[in-house]
Chains A and B, each alone.
Chain A
Amino acid sequence: MMINYYLSGNEACTEGAIRAGCRYFGGYPIGPSSGIMHRIAVRFKEVGGVFMQMEDELASIASVIGASWAGAKAMTATSGPGFSLMQEAIGYAAMTETPIVIVDVQRAGPSTGQAGRVASGDIMQARWGSHGDYQIIALSPWSAQEMYDQTINAFNLAEKYRVPVIVLSDGAVGHLRERVDVREKVELFDRLKKAGAAPFGTEEDDGVPPMPSFGEGEKLLVTGSTHDDYGVRKIYDSRVQEKLTSRLHNKIMNNREEIIEYEDYYLEDAEIVVVCYGFTGRSSLFAVEKMRKEGKKVGMLRLKTLWPFADRIVRDIGSKARKIFVPEMNKGQIAGEVMKHVSCDIIPYNQTNGEIIPPNVIIKELERLL
């Protein structure tokens, strides 16, 4: 059974979180993400969640990590400067393998920039924002529907891989208001528990240890310092440092085929392929479909998962297509990633004026490249 609602992207994100079982939210006001927190403040009263408006973004994400270890599915949402403030704690969550969801409703930066306007300038920050080598998962919704679906997916991935998952939305998707279909049955994943098992090490192939909560008698040692399988700090042991950082890397990279989602259109005979994500995917699809009707051999790949990067499909495209066109609301953050994997012509289109890239611009660029 399916029920449909008329929601903004931010509202749909909140509903997705609640559907996924999120019952702790720590947040701090910042646009364009605040709509998520506003709806949480109301809806958590109904579903029995714990909402804390904290004193800043440092505290918001710290409280979310604390709540996760207390057993919660927990989330925060922020934008621009707030996402910058959260970076240290994202590294801590990666190091301590804490499942949390961070929604970054991107806005035009750098710095305060244009708070009410759109951009996708945080793609690389999501990947590399905290110090050291670590992996996260980042998703890129293109609609209010996907703000709902991908938020649920974000919780499932966070719980399954014990990793911070970032939903990289933007001001356009967050404020967009459209139909959202809500299914009665949704597949949910809850963190695995195994009494007495090592909470920070495993011999299992997936590399993800079980996760107990505080208060279960496990005498947990949770630390952001380098630690052994039981959480005991090992701050001079080279072997433990190598083993831990490698497992944190491999548990995402070795499972990336399972994690990565994308949509492809007209790839079979496409000479030019648009690689896009987020709101720009909507303009790109409009452009590609219009040009296909005119018999032009254009195709499109929409990345639903940005990190880990969809290297296999991008390599496939690179071996067949003549050119890859990458329109982005930044200075080429994903275009650079595409270049790492293919050697055909890659043409970035970078717009950082605080506006969405409209379909006619994409059509004009593609016509030029044909």
Chain B
Amino acid sequence: MTRDIRKYLRPGIPPIPFCPGCGDRILLELILTAIDELGLNINDILFVSGIGCAAWIPSPHYNADTLHTIHGRALAFATGAKMFNPKLQVLVISGDGDLASSGGNHLIHAARRNIDLAVICANNMIYGQSGGQVASTTPIGISTATTVEGNIERPFDLCKLVEAAGATYVARYSVTQPSLLVSSIKKALQIEGFAFVEVISPCPAEFGRRNRLDTPEDTLKFFEDKCIMKGDAEGLSPEELKDKIITGEFSSGKS
């Protein structure tokens, strides 16, 4: 990052606690980059997060109003704040376990209401903070603390889920695609209605370590290789797309 995003960080907070190579640590900067490029005043934004590693991105690090809530309910807290004071710009930042498993019901209902919230879901496909358990987003075959012989359950396609529920803007990018991701976050912040950005956020410490991805670089590379742009995926057979993660915009923001 060439921009100085330190001015957006809360002074006096101890060093950022993410593990080496954590996708959330990268995302922390990319969100601030998007805010900076849009010229927004960070103090005009309310950041809402749930419980988990990704919830630490805004709270305590961003120097703005932050609401660090209970597990799974970030979107419901955000709904109350936004509905009572529509002048607040509300950005929800949380993980896949928080937004899609514990809080899955709130996710589909917030999308159904198409309430004017921007949501960034840092998807590391595992429960990172609590010790590497299988998630509703873990790919088939992946080893976790609770699927030692590999996961046998199908993962959610979060973008399909949220799009089907009625969101205005739906996109997926990986932290390994930083400039596309920043543009997408910028769109999400500008669009009226429910805007959902799923961010592939590699977790070397729990996901990588349990799947023979020995270094943070290996984990990042693993996801970088899996990601395929939506346009490039067109025309490929389901077999060819089996292990791929399709990135791009799935709902373009026209409400």
Contacts and interface: CB of A to CB of B under 8 A. Distances in A.
Interface of A: 23-24, 26, 50, 52, 54-56, 58-60, 62-72, 74, 88-89, 92, 213-215, 217-225, 231-233
Contact of A63 (B72, B77, B87, B88): B77
A70 B84 contact: yes
A145 to B, nearest CB: 29
Q: Which 6 A-B pairs have the closest CB atoms?
A: A66-B80, A63-B80, A62-B76, A59-B76, A66-B77, A67-B80
A221 B59 CA distance: 7
Contacts of A23: 84
Contact of A59 (B44, B63, B85, B109): B109
B46 A55 contact: no
A51 to B, nearest CB: 9
Contacts of B13: 232
Contacts of B10: 219, 221
B232 to A, nearest CB: 37
* B contact face: mostly helix, strand, loop, or mixed: mixed
B230 to A, nearest CB: 30
B223 to A, nearest CB: 29
Interface residues of B, number: 34
B199 interface: no
Given A56-B105, A62-B79, 19 more contacts: A50-B83, A52-B83, A63-B77, A63-B83, A66-B80, A68-B80, A69-B67, A70-B81, A70-B88, A71-B85, A72-B80, A74-B80, A214-B46, A214-B65, A214-B85, A218-B65, A219-B10, A224-B70, A231-B60
A71 B66 contact: no
B30 to A, nearest CB: 21
A220 B67 CA distance: 8
Most chain B C-beta atoms within 10 Å of own C-beta, residue among A24, A70, A92: A70
B67 A66 contact: yes
Given A215-B85, A223-B68, A225-B68, A24 B80 contact: yes
Q: Which residue of A24, A63, A64 has the most chain B CB atoms within 10 A of its CB atom?
A: A63
A222 B66 CA distance: 6
Nearest to A59: B76
B26 interface: no
B48 interface: yes
B77 A62 contact: yes
A89 B66 contact: no
8 contacts: A24-B84, A58-B72, A59-B106, A67-B81, A70-B85, A218-B65, A219-B64, A222-B67
